Structure 1
């Protein structure tokens, strides 16, 4: 049974008990769906992070990307389950790259990568944000402006945090600070990637695989 069906059953029963009208039940259903989907995503990501010894990396990457996606939009899979699986796959791949590859680069190279990545991220965000999807068409200009403004506020916060942790890493030599810096950056880049045409083609390829596997 899918998440959508579960949330619909629960919201319908709650609506009957609380004597809610159809519109109120729909709102309740949406809220329950988001809660259940988010809870499953967090638990699954946490478990995979523990099993692969990438807990810090995968949690930071997932949370950073998810929060930015809320405002910037981007490509989606055709179902919540597929979206969840795809998100975990990408986050795990980047977490593994962070732990066993990127965390070993020098601070000088990391600094250059940070500057280049931040510039590219701001540029793509400026050109693309917000990107609509089937469930969120974003026809109102006021809504688009609000989402765009919040997206830039959030990436400004991310950038500030990265700079702080990067400097802490330089002055203390504590590897954890470097890991946090890189993880935040990878989370940003993951979401920025989802705004591009390449991401659409990638998701289409995943969709073909899911169809074959009947997921």
Structure 2
């Protein structure tokens, strides 16, 4: 039994007494699966970041990219384990890149904001991107995920405008940009652009 089936079973058990409709059951199952994957993924990312000696920027990139991923979806491997391993490596590399950018003094809020505006446009057009293993059936849920995705990128723009910590800003932007790239149709075999 895979994680998706376990999440659906837990959701059915939790909602049996509450007489929820299918949309609410889907949202609860999605939340359970997201929570478990988030915890496992975060532990893997922290382990890799420690090895790369870039714990702080990696965690920041992972928090920003990971939250956007939970609501925007994106490219998937065929198993959650492959996804977790790939994410741990990529976010650790992003942490190292952010650290090196700051160490070498390449500090430009203009570039960071340009990357975020590009990400905002892609998120507004493409999010949420589901996959065959976890399709989003509810149009209402799809619309909510799009709004939260857009809102989170706008919030990140606000963080970059207000924060004077270039390591935090760079790490956050790299996390958002990486996650946004996973929305591109070239990385998603099935559907095209969703509204």
- Give the TM-score of the pair, scaled to structure 1: 0.70
Q: Is the 8 A contact 2:113 2:157 kept in 1?
A: no
Offset at residue 180 of structure 1 (A): 0.5
**Per-residue deviation at 1:76?**
0.8
- Give, in whole Å, the separation in 2 of the partners of 1:85 and 1:137: 22
Once residues 33 and 140 of structure 1 are traced to their aligned partners in structure 2, the CA distance between those partners, rounded to angstroms, is 17
- CA displacement at 1:95 relative to structure 2: 1.2
RMSD (Å) for aligned C-alpha atoms: 3.0
Query: Map of 1:69-84 to 2, 5 A cutoff?
Result: 69-84=69-84
* Cα pair 2:116 2:153 within 8 Å, conserved: no
Distance change >3 Å, CA 125–CA 33, structure 1 → 2: closer
> C-alpha separation between the residues in 2 aligned to 1:35 and 1:139?
20
Within-5 A mapping of 1:77-96: 77-96=77-96
Q: Conserved in 2, the CA contact under 8 Å of 1:130 and 1:147?
A: yes
Cα drift, residue 105 of structure 1: 3.6
Distance 1:131 1:104 in 2: 36
- Name the counterpart of 1:142: 140
Displacement of 1:4: 3.8
What's 1:205 paired with? none
User: Aligned ranges for residues 51-130 of structure 1 at < 5 Å?
Assistant: 51-101=51-101, 103-107=103-107, 110-130=108-128
Answer with 110-119 or 76-85: which moved more. 110-119
Q: Given the two structures, how large is their TM-score scaled by the length of structure 2?
A: 0.76
From 9, 18, 23, the counterpart of 2:12: 23
Match of residue 158 from structure 2: 160
- CA-to-aligned-CA distance 1:25-82 (integer Å, 9 cap, x gap): 7989977655543332222222222222100111111111111111111111100100
Kindly state the Cα deviation for residue 89 of structure 1 after the two structures are TM-superposed.
1.5
Question: 1:4, 1:136 → 2: CA distance?
Answer: 11
Q: Distance in 1 between matches of 2:174 and 2:109?
A: 14
Unaligned residue ranges in structure 2 (runs of 5+): 16-24, 190-195
Residue of structure 2 in register with 1:178 after alignment:
166
Alignment partners' CA distance in 2, 1:57 and 1:125: 23
Shift >6 Å, 4+ stretches:
25-32
Distance 1:118 1:39, change over 3 A: closer
For the pair shown, the structure with the greater C-alpha radius of gyration is: 1
